Structure 1
């Protein structure tokens, strides 16, 4: 029969393992520690795209003519890289300037990285992110409506050009 000490130790180990699975990143070198999210996620040659999403209007309304694109970019490479452009099927993407990606620092955490126009009633938008050194990565980016966790995100903030 298990002792109280064995039961307590097992419960503590399970609690620690569970909390570690949902921890935010503290070491940007290990992008596997990100919380799960509903945005697009992809990696290409050491550059990681996390939680990419477009922010539309309120639920039930059609998407505005221009919507902000949010994403977190992490460069796990030893040298800096740059997001040079983003393309979208059936629309256009505007970066204020190329987005610089220093090694092991998140970029795009508090502002949109671009704005997208020309979307037509899609809820998942195919987009290609082109990095100077890492290359291209194609993802399906969701269009989220202003509700729940993203209801307080400011959609009018200008895109982040550099950090």
Structure 2
């Protein structure tokens, strides 16, 4: 009977450990599962979180210009800079300075980091964030209706933004070849439940 009881206890421990019912302080995956409604992606030491476009109220006609929300965290030891955000068939105007010192957060708060215009219908919108050191990272950005917990967000970005080149354009609007990335190019999908 003692062997049977010992096997039952060991079986219970094995099953519990395999189902994630334990709490491990060294489990890095629990730190990298953002709980938000937007898209999330990382490239090198930069983490782009909760990226989404804010649309109008439910049932309203589509706006020609949509606020772009995102939080960008530099988790590295070297400074970097957001140089632009591009989307096919549209343009993005950044409204925040793109400087990202080590440990710095860009875009935290209730104001968008910029606006996107010329986007076609449909969801999600493919956007490419370009950083001076980390390179380019592509993310599929969902559109969110201005309802529920999105109603308190300020739809207008801070003033003083500059247009960010669209794919294949320079800031002057002249077509140019799209440069190859200076770093890895990663893709991400919107987080589940968003």
Query: What's the TM-score, normalizing by structure 2?
Result: 0.64
How far off is 1:82 after superposition? 0.5
Separation in structure 1 between the aligned mates of residue 135 and residue 107 of structure 2, nearest angstrom: 19
Structure 1: 4+ residue segments shifted above 6 A: none
- Which residue of structure 2 aligns with residue 11 of structure 1? none
Question: Which of the two has higher C-alpha Rg?
Answer: 2
Task: Tell me, yes or no, if structure 1 residue 53 matches structure 2 residue 52.
Answer: yes
- Where in structure 1 are there 5+ consecutive unaligned residues? 1-13, 22-29
Seen in structure 2, the aligned counterparts of structure 1 residues 31 and 157 have a Cα distance that, compared at 3 Å, is farther
What is the match of residue 142 of structure 1?
A: 142
Aligned-residue CA RMSD (Å): 3.0
What is the number of residues matched between the two proteins? 142
Gaps of 5+ in 2: 1-20, 162-194
Q: Structure 1 residues 102-111 or 67-76, which shifts more?
A: 102-111
Rounded Cα–Cα distance in structure 1 between residues aligned with 2:76 and 2:48: 13
Alignment of 1:50-89 (within 5 A): 50-89=49-88
Q: CA deviation at 1:32?
A: 2.3
Matched, 1:93 2:92: yes
Do the aligned partners of residues 159 and 77 (structure 1) sit closer, same or farther apart at CA in structure 2, a change above 3 Å counting?
farther
CA distance in 1, matches of 2:140, 2:47: 15
Using the size of structure 1 for normalisation, the TM-score is: 0.75
Measure how far apart 1:97 and its partner are: 5.9
